[in-house]
Structure 1
Amino acid sequence: PQVYAVMSFISLILPDNAIYFTSIREIYDAWVIYNFFSLCLAWVGGPGAVVVSLNGRTLKPSWFLMTCCFPAIPLDGRFIRRCKQGCLQFVILKPILVVITFILYAKGKYEDGNFSVNQSYLYITIIYTISYSMALYALALFYAACRDLLRPYNPVPKFIIIKSVVFLTYWQGVLVFLAAKSRFIKNAEKAADLQNYVLCVEMLIAAIGHLFAFPYKEYAGNQDLRRLFP
């Protein structure tokens, strides 16, 4: 939350350079997702240990997980690898799209909130949306498969706080710019200012939520997690 809040605050002060600070915030998204998935794997003992623990189990078809039309999914090494790939594609793609955004912005082909087909914002947003959705779905499948193994670590508040900070704030930004396009907000510049201001307020709430979702006592004395996250 601190990175989100600081980058949003600086964007309010220096609106002409806001794209650069927003990009730092977006790259941080990728880092958060990678570390959160690594933390979940560490909780269950790593990929090898979780495969052994889930040996012989399957993920039953579910309307909620949108697997109702598929047969039961074996919870084997391939499943864990697919979940990891679903998260990592977002981690890899995010910095690449940021670099592409900088290049297009320098050439006058990118403008925040401009959904014109002649501007790249629309297409980058579509790619982001697909990538975000895949990462979110991969996390949801991993949690559904490892729910019993993760239960001692009280994962539900952690999943909620991470998803709300990374995913909901993204959709909030898209909706704010759509409101500007629909003239509910004066223009894209005002929409960007509103998004940054709201993020500053929301991150204060999120920081408080982190204190409860990630209490330090859970990690005190845990040498395995210390080696993974020095």
Structure 2
Amino acid sequence: MAKCENERFERELILEDALPNETTFHLLALNLCCGFACLAIALSVWHILRHALHYLRPYEQRHIIRILAMIPIYAFTSFLSYVFYQNAIYYERVRDCYEAYAIASFFTLMCHYVAPNLHEQKVYFGNVRPKNWAWPLSWLQKLTGGEDRGWLRKPRSGLTWFNIVYVGIFQYCIIRPLCMIVAVISQSQGKYCQSSTSPRFTSLWVAGFDAISVTIAMYCLVQFYIQLKEDLTPHRPFLKVLSIKLVIFLCFWQNWLISLLTAESGPLKPTNFVAGPDLRIGIPCILTCVEMAFFAVLHRWAFPWKPYDIERVPRHRRQHYACGPNAALLEAIYPWDYAKAAARGFRWLFHGRRFRKDDPSYQTEPNFGMKQELAARTRPGARTDPGHTESKKRKHMERKTA
């Protein structure tokens, strides 16, 4: 029976000598981690409540709240990983699992910026002329037939391009939770062994599948940004992309780097003042909590709540919010739309893709006037904006009763 060679790391206790200030490094680092985690959580919760109190456009703010929730989840689970360091693997898997839903929420938010529902999004993307795939697929196209031929060719239809990106992003919402379940079950049975690279343990396979899945999702997200960055300029997409990618990028690479530095052959070794768990688990948790406090501040500019305040939008002064803060938070928590989106994407991949030649919506010639019209319809105060339409109807009824 395979046994984890580094199992002693998971059972190691923190026994340290006191520093000159008569406290241990573990207590000092734990207080630092707790302080920044509380700061990040407080800033993010305040920001989330502002969106919930000004719930003007649910089809956008529902996903903004989900993205903002990434900060308190990362900060809280990182702090718990350090407090209960012997079971840190469970908290880390939960934290990483939410990463998939944050990416999906960001993609869905960008789609809602161009059109408020899936039907109009299909019309919009059906009139888009797809750009060629970014590197490295643009380089691999030379080996598979070029830009217009081969299985890596550029899609001829904007709707086909949209569906490919759609599947590439939402597949991560399925693969990531499955990897988490496998990791948790195998860890409880002693078959995970995170510190081992042996194929006898599931850690290598979970990391491999997860790396492939997240690479596909992030590539599709970048391709989506490249395609629509000009149309989404009023919504400042670069700042939003940056605030999402940096969280994922820093958490992944700093954990990977520290795991190399603290390996048996690495330069960082435990001492009488700094124990092994403080190096392997404590330092990444501290860095994550500090970064989450920084990103909580950045999110105030990337996802502001003021554009949804009725008092700040003159055309919406007579309008009511979609619902109260409690209903808004419940709507954001409810994950059923993720499941439907993933099922819709896989249905197209295994069924709809084969019959798209018979669908006239895939044969639509690019109509940039239609695309600009649909984009204008989602801007605040546009004539077809839900708030403006409702306000107009209310004014008409008031004049009629008078």
TM-score normalised by the chain length of structure 1: 0.87
Cα separation, 2, equivalents of 1:133 and 1:82: 14
> In the superposition, relative to structure 1, how do residues 6 and 139 fare at CA in structure 2: closer, same or farther (>3 Å)?
same
Cα separation, 2, equivalents of 1:97 and 1:202: 25
> In the superposition, relative to structure 1, how do residues 153 and 74 fare at CA in structure 2: closer, same or farther (>3 Å)?
farther
Aligned with 2:201 (options 99, 116, 119): 119
In the alignment, which residue of structure 2 is the partner of 1:13? Answer: 83
The answer as to whether partners of 1:58 and 1:73 remain within 8 angstroms in 2 is yes
In the alignment, which residue of structure 2 is the partner of 1:206? Answer: 295
Post-superposition shift, 1:65?
6.0
In the alignment, which residue of structure 1 is the partner of 2:93? Answer: 23
Cα separation, 1, equivalents of 2:136 and 2:122: 21
> In the superposition, relative to structure 1, how do residues 147 and 195 fare at CA in structure 2: closer, same or farther (>3 Å)?
same
- Summarize deviations over 1:131-178 as a string: whole Å, max 9, x none: 110000010111112222211111001001101112431232222212
In the alignment, which residue of structure 2 is the partner of 1:39? Answer: 109
In the alignment, which residue of structure 2 is the partner of 1:57? Answer: 129
Cα separation, 2, equivalents of 1:150 and 1:170: 28
Cα separation, 2, equivalents of 1:43 and 1:220: 17
Matched, 1:76 2:158: yes
Aligned with 2:282 (options 165, 172, 193): 193
> In the superposition, relative to structure 1, how do residues 185 and 116 fare at CA in structure 2: closer, same or farther (>3 Å)?
farther
- Summarize deviations over 1:182-230 as a string: whole Å, max 9, x none: 413337743222211211111111111111211112444599xx69965
In the alignment, which residue of structure 2 is the partner of 1:153? Answer: 235
- Identify which range, 75-84 or 172-181, moves more after superposition: 172-181
Matched, 1:90 2:172: yes
Aligned with 1:67 (options 138, 144, 148): 138
Task: Please give the secondary structure, in 2, of the residue aligned with 1:113.
Answer: coil
Post-superposition shift, 1:75?
4.9
The answer as to whether partners of 2:131 and 2:227 remain within 8 angstroms in 1 is yes
Which amino acid in 1 is paired with 2:222? A
Cα separation, 2, equivalents of 1:49 and 1:151: 20
Which amino acid in 1 is paired with 2:296? A
Cα separation, 1, equivalents of 2:269 and 2:201: 20
Post-superposition shift, 1:40?
0.9
Cα separation, 2, equivalents of 1:200 and 1:26: 14
> In the superposition, relative to structure 1, how do residues 58 and 23 fare at CA in structure 2: closer, same or farther (>3 Å)?
closer
Cα separation, 2, equivalents of 1:61 and 1:16: 44
- Summarize deviations over 1:30-53 as a string: whole Å, max 9, x none: 221121111111111044434434
Which amino acid in 2 is paired with 1:67? S
The answer as to whether partners of 1:8 and 1:22 remain within 8 angstroms in 2 is yes
Post-superposition shift, 1:61?
5.7
In the alignment, which residue of structure 1 is the partner of 2:26? Answer: none
- Identify which range, 18-27 or 126-135, moves more after superposition: 18-27
The answer as to whether partners of 1:10 and 1:21 remain within 8 angstroms in 2 is yes
- Identify which range, 53-62 or 82-91, moves more after superposition: 53-62
Structure 1 unaligned residues grouped into runs of 5+: none
TM-score normalised by the chain length of structure 2: 0.52
In the alignment, which residue of structure 2 is the partner of 1:184? Answer: 267
In the alignment, which residue of structure 2 is the partner of 1:137? Answer: 219
Which amino acid in 2 is paired with 1:52? V
Matched, 1:109 2:191: yes
Matched, 1:217 2:287: no
In the alignment, which residue of structure 2 is the partner of 1:170? Answer: 252
Cα separation, 2, equivalents of 1:50 and 1:145: 14
The answer as to whether partners of 2:133 and 2:223 remain within 8 angstroms in 1 is no
Cα separation, 1, equivalents of 2:286 and 2:220: 31
Task: Please give the secondary structure, in 2, of the residue aligned with 1:111.
Answer: coil
Which amino acid in 2 is paired with 1:186? K
Cα separation, 2, equivalents of 1:220 and 1:114: 52
The answer as to whether partners of 2:182 and 2:206 remain within 8 angstroms in 1 is no
Cα separation, 2, equivalents of 1:213 and 1:61: 27
> In the superposition, relative to structure 1, how do residues 213 and 205 fare at CA in structure 2: closer, same or farther (>3 Å)?
same
**% identical aligned pairs:** 28
State which structure, 1 or 2, has the greater radius of gyration over its C-alpha atoms: 2
